[in-house]
Chain A
Amino acid sequence: DADVTQTPRNRITKTGKRIMLECSQTKGHDRMYWYRQDPGLGLRLIYYSFDVKDINKGEISDGYSVSRQAQAKFSLSLESAIPNQTALYFCATSDPISGTRNTGELFFGEGSRLTVL
């Protein structure tokens, strides 16, 4: 089983619909992230959370919201989807840095491909 699981893997929806992408992890990491990937634009950070009570906006948070339901769960919502939110969305996790204990490596899910018509 994957350590970082995203659902759904693929979704097609219409403009104006509410969409939720879910992410769960079994790595026991405190930190979780949502990125979107667009061809030629790389990965851009949407939101991140360092623990259940800590939520932070990333580079492109407009039009998105998140919920950290538990240490292992971090969901991304599009309240009213629009076509330019068509992208591949990745959830990732990491451990906090503590001296040289951890490299800060991000562990990624397989991605959720969202198409907004």
Chain B
Amino acid sequence: GEDVEQSLFLSVREGDSSVINCTYTDSSSTYLYWYKQEPGAGLQLLTYIFSNMDMKQDQRLTVLLNKKDKHLSLRIADTQTGDSAIYFCAERDSGYALNFGKGTSLLVTP
């Protein structure tokens, strides 16, 4: 399948902004997603963006999409210790299954 790449680890201090980056290869992707996985739990949808949008903001979350470079980012403002989790970038393929990246482990330190 198509590749979705993201860095594996990110550490930030409480109160700072976190930026998690993702690149994808399928230019036909129509939806792109960010999922959050807390320890011992399943994945929950954090936010999504349509491919015809450049930016989406939802409270502390900002998603930026650069279709030309196939680059997606998730910015978390005022990061809190409760934001510590694994964050997965995903794209929807033409068959309607989701292709996931390997996940970025975000550690928020006091």
Residues of A near any B CB (own CB < 8 A): 4, 31, 33, 35, 40-45, 48, 50, 56, 58-59, 90, 92, 94, 96-97, 103-106, 108-111
Q: Which residues of A contact B1 (CB under 8 A)?
A: 45, 59
Apart from the given pairs A42-B4, A105-B48, A108-B43, 9 other A-B contacts in the complex at a CB distance below 8 Å: A42-B102, A44-B100, A48-B95, A96-B96, A103-B31, A105-B45, A106-B43, A109-B42, A111-B42
Q: Which residues of B contact A40 (CB under 8 A)?
A: 8, 102
Which residue of chain B has its CB nearest to the CB of A56?
B95
Residues of B near any A CB (own CB < 8 A): 1, 4, 8, 31, 33, 41-45, 48, 88, 92, 95-103
Q: Which residues of A contact B45 (CB under 8 A)?
A: 105-106
Q: Which residues of B contact A50 (CB under 8 A)?
A: 96
Q: Which residues of B contact A92 (CB under 8 A)?
A: 43
* Minimal beta-carbon separation of A105 from chain B (angstroms): 5
Q: Which 9 A/B pairs are nearest by Cβ-Cβ distance?
A: A42-B102, A108-B42, A43-B100, A108-B43, A110-B42, A42-B100, A104-B92, A105-B45, A42-B103
Complex Cα–Cα for A55 and B68 (A):
34
Establish whether residues A108 and B31, one from each chain, have CB atoms under 8 Å apart when the complex forms. no
Q: Which residues of A contact B41 (CB under 8 A)?
A: 110-111
Establish whether residues A58 and B97, one from each chain, have CB atoms under 8 Å apart when the complex forms. yes
Which of A41, A94, A104, A110 has the most chain B CB atoms inside 10 A of its CB?
Answer: A104
| B102 CB contact (under 8 Å) in A41, A56, A109 | A41
Which residue of chain B has its CB nearest to the CB of A107?
B45
Complex Cα–Cα for A108 and B103 (A):
16
* Minimal beta-carbon separation of A90 from chain B (angstroms): 6
Q: A108-B42, A110-B41 are in contact. Are A43 and B31 (CB under 8 A)?
A: no
Q: Which residues of B contact A96 (CB under 8 A)?
A: 96
Complex Cα–Cα for A44 and B100 (A):
7
Which residue of chain A has its CB nearest to the CB of B41?
A110
Q: Which residues of B contact A4 (CB under 8 A)?
A: 42
Q: Which residues of A contact B101 (CB under 8 A)?
A: 42
Q: Which residues of A contact B103 (CB under 8 A)?
A: 42
